[in-house]
């Protein structure tokens, strides 16, 4: 009988403990729910989309508007550089015979403050624009792809104000007749094959993703003199099929968006292959931020994806923006994100190739820092200008 009483007491005590645990769990869960936002879909992540880049009323009249935006470069929020593929009619056709607005500069309020029309004739389909953060003069580099019938392929280097063309490389070569012919050759140092993108090294050298045809990453110094190259066409490790994005981390490791192979590849500074990150759908750009987070533009998924330097997917945000009902009043969604950058105030800019718009995102006041693209402050120019 005593044993039965003892057993009954133990059972009742156990029930009481379990009941107490359940109540504690419910209380903790309720507290957790109370601290979360009701509703929402997190499409903009930790950012507030801005109604930003305005039209050019002096030129864009009679239905003519911006052409496709291929890239953006931002250090100073009041001086954001954009390259476009000329002007278009509402139906999408390229407008006038000699399109304008190849390079424009935009201020923090979205006003176009400069149109480098004096250099339009040098460009046909400018694919990338980058300001060198390591040079106090902050020169501007433009990669001319030369597609859609264009014969100009190369790199242009301008003064930051656009008044001087400091040099150009690659323009003396005529492209081959077919892609197959281009990919079967061993290109000379300045024999480009639809180059796509570039990135800077701390010592002033730059890397050129060359690109659609040549399947290589070439290195040049700040005077445009050839140093080295790595890569070839193919699907194996160290081979490429459309070099479309480049970035460098704090250890000078090189990250390549190997777009048509649906992957990111990682290399040492000398071009030695390190790793392949597979199954990343059509990566259009790669951007390593100040924390060495590796951000990738998902061209077909319409996302910005965050990876660590080992290739683990940590976070992403974004969604398609051209819906029947609009999206955030026409701002916020991605439409084939093609290039990205972040200014020193933490605003993120994404060039949407289909949307003919630069998406600008400002961090929320209470943003989770682990979900932000951090400003790159390694360069002297970025830190002091």
Which two tokens mark 251?
Answer: 């250890």
Residue 28 lies in a domain: no
Residue 193 lies in a domain: yes
**pLDDT tens string 238-281:** 999 999 999 999 999 999 999 999 999 999 999 999 999 999 99
Residue 13 lies in a domain: no
Measure the CA–CA gap between 311 and 131, rounded to whole angstroms.
Answer: 27
Residue 136 lies in a domain: yes
Residue 26 lies in a domain: no
3-state secondary structure of 248: strand
Measure the CA–CA gap between 57 and 305, rounded to whole angstroms.
Answer: 36
In the chain, how many domains are there? Answer: 1
Residue 22 lies in a domain: no
Measure the CA–CA gap between 217 and 254, rounded to whole angstroms.
Answer: 10
Residue 99 lies in a domain: yes
Calculate mean pLDDT across residues 197-219. 96
Which residue has 């407008």 as its token pair? 95
Calculate mean pLDDT across residues 88-93. 71
Measure the CA–CA gap between 210 and 128, rounded to whole angstroms.
Answer: 12
Of 146, 143, 147, 145, the C-alpha closest to 156 is 143
Residue 319 lies in a domain: yes
Confidence band for 220, pLDDT divided at 50, 70 and 90: very high
Structural domain containing residue 147: 42-384
**pLDDT tens string 284-338:** 999 999 999 999 999 999 999 999 999 999 999 998 887 655 555 557 889 899 9
Q: What is the DSSP code (8-state) at residue 282?
A: S
Tell me the pLDDT of the chain averaged across its residues: 86
Which has the higher per-residue pLDDT, 341 or 33? 341
pLDDT at 145: 93
**pLDDT tens string 131-178:** 999 999 999 999 999 875 556 899 999 999 999 999 999 987 766 777
pLDDT at 342: 98
In angstroms, the Cα distances linking 288 to 22, 329, 381 are 45, 30, 17
Calculate mean pLDDT across residues 17-29. 49
- Judged against a pLDDT cut of 80, whether residue 31 lies above it is answered with no
- Judged against a pLDDT cut of 70, whether residue 95 lies above it is answered with no
**pLDDT tens string 47-72:** 999 889 998 888 787 778 888 899 99
Measure the CA–CA gap between 304 and 358, rounded to whole angstroms.
Answer: 14
Q: What is the CATH number of the domain that holds 314?
A: 2.120.10.30
Residues whose CB is less than 8 angstroms from the CB of residue 259 and which lie 6 or more positions away in sequence, other chains included: 241, 242, 243, 244, 245, 282, 283, 284, 299
């Amino acid at each position: 009988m005593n044993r039965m009483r003892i057993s009954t007491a133990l059972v009742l005590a156990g029930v009481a403990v379990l009941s107490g645990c359940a109540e504690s769990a419910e209380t903790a869960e309720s507290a957790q729910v109370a601290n979360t936002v009701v509703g929402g879909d997190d499409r903009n992540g930790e950012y507030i989309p801005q109604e930003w880049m305005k039209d050019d009323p002096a030129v864009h009249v009679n239905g003519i508007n911006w052409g496709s935006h291929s890239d953006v470069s931002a250090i100073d929020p009041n001086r954001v550089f954009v390259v476009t593929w000329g002007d278009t009619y509402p139906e999408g056709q390229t407008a006038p015979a000699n399109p304008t607005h190849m390079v424009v500069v935009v201020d923090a309020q979205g006003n176009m403050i400069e149109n480098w029309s004096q250099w339009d004739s040098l460009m046909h389909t400018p694919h990338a624009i980058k300001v060198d953060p390591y040079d106090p003069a902050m020169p501007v580099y433009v990669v001319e792809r030369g597609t859609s019938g264009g014969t100009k392929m190369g790199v242009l280097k301008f003064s930051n104000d656009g008044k001087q063309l400091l040099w150009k490389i690659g323009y003396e070569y005529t492209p081959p007749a077919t892609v197959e012919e281009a990919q079967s050759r061993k290109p000379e140092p300045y024999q480009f094959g639809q180059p796509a993108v570039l990135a800077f090294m701390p010592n002033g050298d730059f890397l050129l993703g060359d690109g659609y045809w040549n399947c290589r990453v070439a290195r040049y110094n700040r005077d445009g003199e050839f140093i080295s190259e790595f890569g070839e066409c193919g699907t194996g490790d160290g081979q490429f099929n459309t070099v479309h994005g480049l970035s460098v981390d704090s250890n000078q490791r090189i990250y390549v968006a190997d777009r048509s192979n649906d992957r990111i590849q990682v290399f040492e500074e000398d071009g030695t292959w390190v790793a392949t990150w597979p199954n990343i759908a059509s990566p259009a750009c790669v951007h390593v931020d100040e924390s060495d987070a590796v951000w990738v533009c998902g061209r077909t998924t319409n996302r910005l994806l965050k990876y660590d330097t080992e290739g683990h997917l940590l976070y992403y945000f974004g969604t398609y923006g051209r819906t029947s009902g609009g999206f955030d009043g026409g701002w916020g969604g991605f439409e084939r994100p093609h290039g990205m950058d972040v200014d020193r105030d933490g605003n993120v800019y994404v060039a949407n190739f289909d949307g003919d718009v630069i998406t600008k995102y400002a961090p929320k006041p209470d943003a989770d820092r682990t979900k932000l693209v951090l400003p790159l402050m390694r360069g002297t120019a970025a830190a002091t200008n």
